[in-house]
Amino acid sequence: MTVRVRFAPSPTGMFHVGGARSALQNWIYAKQQGGVFVLRIEDTDAARNKPEWTEGILSALDWIGISRGSYEGPYFQSENAGEHRAAATRLYESGRAYYCDCTREDVQARTGSQYQGYDGYHRDRGLGPGPGHALRFRTPDEGTTVVVDLIRGEPTFENKLIEDFVIARGDGSPVFLLANVVDDMTMGITHVIRAEEHLPNTPKQQLLWDALGVKPPIWAHVPVVVNEKRQKLSKRRDKVALEAYRDEGYLAGAMRNYLMLLGWAPSGDREIVPWSVIEDEFRLEEVNPSPAFFDEKKLRAFNGEYIRALPVAEFVDACQPWLTGTGTIAPPPWQPDEFDADAFAAVAPLAQTRIAVLSEIVPNVDFLFLATPLIDEAAWTKTMKDGSGELLDDAVAAFEVLESWDAESLKSTLEAVGAERGLKLGKTQAPVRVAVTGRTVGLPLFESLEVLGRDRTLTRMRAARLRLP
């Protein structure tokens, strides 16, 4: 039997990091088993679906390494509507489903406010199809439904506690439960690897598989992803869009690595590992069913490690979207003709050790490409104390006559300027840094001054001096 797994997102918004994790788990499992990964776009919610969301799904999958052309699909659920309706008809004609015209208010009035489900009122009343008649599945009165789950064992559900659920609406359109089952049957899906939130629907879907005469797939419900308060990640409350992390400058490799650790870990006392190790070692059976904490701080630390591991040339290439404002990245504060590729290449190794996401490259190097630095007024107020003006005067005078404009000479010269005032280097260089870069923190100062050059450095220091008494 060829293993066939599927990833079936809905194009109704940005690509959720939890969905990205499920996609990767399906992808790896299919690869390990020599199977097939199927992409199915569940687009039957026409009111909420947008073509750009579908393209967003495909682009996000590309980014995390599930590239177009390497999987089967994408298929679109809406294209299988005929099969959905045919399955509903078969279930009705075989007596496994019946029509019901009860409204929600009808059920409420008949059963009372505490009743949590439909009471089977129309089971044996012989109502036929018609406008406003929903089709309900006839759940067995006795016995249990056992779900074979690679992660959770064999959850068992009493059939008598499962209401006669709707499988087609009053307008004849099948609901998600039935459409999902029919699609999986049509596509020959053997394993369904998906989020834990779908587990309550699984016994209903398994009953549908049985009623349609097809062996159900093997299930694997991966743990829910939660925030620091142990609440399920929410689009309204949490930062969950994969595209947002991509555009902030997280590397695909770091994101892949981190997502795979949500509920699973490689062997040994390690977390940052090559993707080939994850592909070899990942086992669905080893996934922890407990909720998985999405720790953005930890992801950020991961990303910093991945950035530092890049060869410098690759780091320079990776920064280009933020330096040029390409694609979905906002343009930098400088004009295109102000950017100096050689200057950036000179400071790139310094910046690479100091940033955790690629978007941080802009505030670290903007002083190199702007005619005047962007002054952080809070930093100015904090740094430019009494005596800062005179210190800048002395530093300008010393830098003007400096024979060699290099980092070591700049450092020793400013150190001497500070020593004459009884100041250590840290106190001495702070006003110079703010005058030249506009900030109190950033790349190593003297290497930055070397790249910036004598004329621009002195011009900025003199301009800063004019602002001081």
pLDDT at site 328:
83
d(CA 397, CA 461): 11
d(CA 415, CA 96): 87
User: What angle, 0 to 180 degrees and rounded to 10, lies between the N-to-C axes of helices 252-260 and 296-309?
Assistant: 130
Provide the whole-model pTM. Answer: 0.91
Q: Which residue shows structure tokens 């899906």?
A: 189
50, 229, 232, 235: the catalytic one is: 235
Q: Do the beta carbons of residue 407 and residue 447 sit within 8 Å?
A: yes
Which is nearest to 44 in space by CA: 73, 16, 85, 4? 85
For 446-459, the pLDDT digits (tens) are 999 999 999 999 99
Amino acid at 413: T
Q: Do the beta carbons of residue 193 and residue 26 sit within 8 Å?
A: yes
pLDDT beyond 60 at 263: yes
Domains and CATH numbers, the chain: 372-466 (1.10.10.350)
pLDDT at site 174:
94
For 127-155, the pLDDT digits (tens) are 999 999 999 999 999 999 999 999 999 99
Q: Do the beta carbons of residue 195 and residue 224 sit within 8 Å?
A: yes
d(CA 425, CA 429): 6
Kindly give, in sequence order, each residue whose CB lies less than 8 Å from that of residue 441, ignoring residues fewer than 6 positions away.
Answer: none
* Cα dihedral sign, 27-28-31-33: negative
pLDDT beyond 90 at 288: yes
Q: Which residue shows structure tokens 């790139």?
A: 348
User: What angle, 0 to 180 degrees and rounded to 10, lies between the N-to-C axes of helices 202-211 and 176-186?
Assistant: 60
CB count in 10 Å sphere of residue 110: 12
Residue 307's alpha-carbon distances to 53, 103, 177, 251, 280, in angstroms, are 29, 57, 43, 8, 24
For 367-384, the pLDDT digits (tens) are 999 999 999 999 999 999
Which residues are paired to 100 by β-bridges? 134
d(CA 242, CA 231): 19
Which residues are paired to 134 by β-bridges? 100
For the chain, give the percent of residues with pLDDT over 90: 88
d(CA 343, CA 452): 8
Rounded mean pLDDT of 14-29?
96
pLDDT at site 375:
95
44, 48, 49, 54 alpha-carbon torsion, rounded to 10°: -120
On the CB side of 204, how many CA atoms lie within 13 Å of its CA? 21
Q: Which two tokens stand for residue 333?
A: 């504060």
Name the 3-class secondary structure at 193: strand
Determine the distance from the C-alpha atom of residue 328 to the mean position of all C-alpha atoms in its chain, rounded to a whole number: 15
Name the 3-class secondary structure at 423: coil
**97-100 and 134-137 beta bridge pairing:** antiparallel
Kindly give, in sequence order, each residue whose CB lies less than 8 Å from that of residue 372, ignoring residues fewer than 6 positions away.
Answer: 460, 463
Amino acid at 462: R
Confidence of residue 47 (pLDDT cuts 50, 70, 90): low
Give the residue ranges of DSSP H helices in 17-126: 17-32, 51-63, 81-93, 104-111
User: What angle, 0 to 180 degrees and rounded to 10, lies between the N-to-C axes of helices 425-437 and 445-452?
Assistant: 40
Q: Do the beta carbons of residue 64 and residue 71 sit within 8 Å?
A: no
Kindly report the average pLDDT of the chain as a whole number. 94
Rounded mean pLDDT of 208-236?
94
For 80-123, the pLDDT digits (tens) are 999 999 999 999 999 999 999 988 888 777 765 544 678 888 89
pLDDT at site 358:
98
Residue 376's alpha-carbon distances to 224, 362, 384, 449, in angstroms, are 42, 15, 12, 19
d(CA 402, CA 396): 10
d(CA 189, CA 204): 17
Is 427 catalytic? The answer is no
Rounded mean pLDDT of 256-264?
97
